[in-house]
Structure 1
């Protein structure tokens, strides 16, 4: 059973007393053969039977739809929570209260909300018609980045037979989550940041050719390589013909985020700086997705999995951007930090070609020295913040190095 029905202690005590009294008076009426008493006792038995039957109806006939659902939104956006109840009984549930708890990542609108330490408790008037479905749409607004679930679901209804209040607690796991994406914060100076190296991204101005892709065929010139001659076309045209290959280059981004607190940060500033770094990362992912540029993400917040830190493999396009947003939303607000130098070692092992690498966050002298010894990276940049804005700078000029 998905609902646990909790009765008022006084109601349960009175029902037990009524049942005991009925048994005693019934025996007494049979012994003395008092027919009038037996008729009255029959009415009380019917009342008790209806009470027990209604208790069972409340537990078995009320269904809350529990399909796997994820509501996704950005900070500041508005949407609605959807709840669907089905009452399969012939009796309505009237003048009730629907309650649940949800995280502070969202703000419930137009309904009573009780602010708690970790979550907020929401209470909504509810009436469910007999033999039918009822939908409730609850408006909300995304307040801060994160993922939250709906918990502690319960319904409170007056008992139709004895008018006592009955609380019904939903015992199953409610498979509904709300994902709030970080708000993108602009990073200036991100144009013309890519390392020119061989790759698979088509570019009109690349010095590299894709030898496997022939764009067209033209007449041979003295500056063409001998290997570019198309002999089949030459035989057909009776003059030398040259293959024109697609121009390609590597335009992929590697985003490396260090969430370890930089020396000098105040404790109260740490969560705010984490949110800023993730918001800058969101903007860079958004830019890359719009430009069709492949990108990957490495964030040194601990998680369960193969890499033990938050990692998104290289991909491109809107679907990959959506995966990036979900990854960024799921980073804890106060994460356990994976050693940044260990993550840099993993990044180095995976970066087999020249890439454009962007670092967010400061690093220690040891981490900076480790990077200085690496030759697998292409052009390196760092996101540096000036008061209320951030800009992309060359790594050697902009990186913040602090003592360990």
Structure 2
């Protein structure tokens, strides 16, 4: 059963009281020889049996159908929770309400009941006749970045036989998750740097060809090597054809998100410009992935977290999901840990973008990254600017 029943009055205690009164009434009727009182005894017996059956059947054939997939929106957009409650029994549930709690990154003023720090409780009036399905649509507006599950789902209805209330608490551990992505903050320019290293990214401006990735044929010219002739295509076209291979190079963008700032005492704290930092990271990631480049993320939270590189729409979703969860009060590590990690692990040149607070005391390690062939940039006034002097956007 999906529901756990909570009765305001203890049902066993209630049954015991009625049973004791019923036995006393039977004894008094027999002693006083009042046969008419057995009519009331019969009515009381029927009520007691009905009460016991009703308490046992409450919530047994009641099903809440909801999707366990997350709902993803951006700030300012609207979303809807669509739930269906199926009642397979003849017992009606009338004049009650559906209650649940959600984080305050989404709001609905129509059904808001109470609000406390970080969470809001909502109550939606609902009645469920017997043998019926009831659809509930609850609109929300995303007001700020964040994520959270819909929790504490309950149904509360008046008891039909004892005139108190009972509550059905939803027991399934899986719930809706509402995810509000950060908005895109444009940053210009976002252009790729020159990188002459073989890799997996296909381009027409690379000197490297992948002989395992043929892309077609063209007419043979005298300067073509003999081993590049495609004999089957030549026989079909009745003239010599030369194989064409995909050209590629290694292009990967590493976005380092520094969510920390230092106090005058040297302590780290979450930057007051966190939302701006994450919005810039979201925009840069979107532009690069839409251009077909691989993007990886480093963030100095969760112990210098690293999101592996990718270049498809699923990678963008992973990045947005990560950005949504940043800034939750987890331990912040110095950004220097991430720089040293890149020095140790990244042998092939890449373009590095630092988003967040930049301290000139880090120039030494950033110069080492530059000497390894990396291109290092920093977002400043919504522009990408090279950190190390003498190295422009195109090297």
1:356 corresponds to which residue? 351
2:221 counterpart residue number: 219
Tell me how far apart the structure 2 counterparts of residues 29 and 348 of structure 1 sit (CA, whole Å): 95
User: What are the Cα deviations for residues 180-205 of structure 1, in whole angstroms up to 9, with x where unaligned?
Assistant: 11111111111344534332322223
Query: Are the equivalent residues in 2 in contact too, given 1:97–1:156 (CA < 8 A)?
Result: yes
Structure 2: distance between partners of 1:232 and 1:347: 40
Give the match's secondary structure for 2:148. strand
Confirm or deny: 8 A CA contact 2:6 2:166 kept in the other structure: yes
CA contact (8 A) 1:199 1:251 kept: yes
Question: TM-score scaled to structure 2, two decimals?
Answer: 0.85
Report Cα offsets for 1:164-192 as digits up to 9, x if no partner: 22222223324211111111111111134
Cα displacement string for residues 258-317 of structure 1 (whole angstroms, at most 9, x for unaligned residues): 11224479x9x9464222111111101110121111111111211xxxxx5432211112
SS of the residue 1:187 aligns to: coil
Match of residue 317 from structure 2: 322
Tell me, in whole angstroms, the C-alpha distance in 2 between the residues paired with 1:259 and 1:234: 55
CA distance in 1, matches of 2:71, 2:208: 44
Q: 1:327 to 1:50 in 2, by over 3 A?
A: same
Q: Could you say if the C-alpha distance between residues 243 and 150 of structure 1 is closer, same or farther in structure 2, counting changes exceeding 3 Å? A: closer
- SS in structure 1 of the partner of residue 59 of structure 2: helix
Matches within 5 A, 1:2-401: 2-9=2-9, 15-30=15-30, 34-65=34-65, 67-213=67-213, 216=217, 218-221=220-223, 229-231=225-227, 233=229, 245-263=245-263, 270=270, 272-302=272-302, 308-364=303-359, 367-374=362-369, 375-384=371-380, 386=381, 390-396=382-388
Tell me the equivalent position of 2:393: none
Distance 2:15 2:159 in 1: 13
CA shift for structure 1 position 211:
4.5
Kept in 2, the 8 Å contact 1:66–1:174? The answer is no
RMSD: 3.2
Residues 86 and 134 in structure 2, CA contact (< 8 A), matched pair in contact too: yes
Asked if the contact 2:11/2:55 (under 8 Å) is kept, the reply is: no
Separation of aligned partners in 2, 1:186 and 1:232: 46
Superposed CA deviations along residues 229-267 of structure 1, whole A, max 9, x for unmatched, are 224749999x999765443222321111111224479x9
Structure 1: which 5+ runs fail to align? 222-227, 303-307, 399-404
Deviations 1:307-364 (A, max 9, x none): x543221111212212221222222443321342333333334423111111112245
Contact 1:261 1:270 in 2 (8 A): yes
Report the alpha carbon displacement of residue 124 of structure 1 after superposing the two structures with TM: 0.7
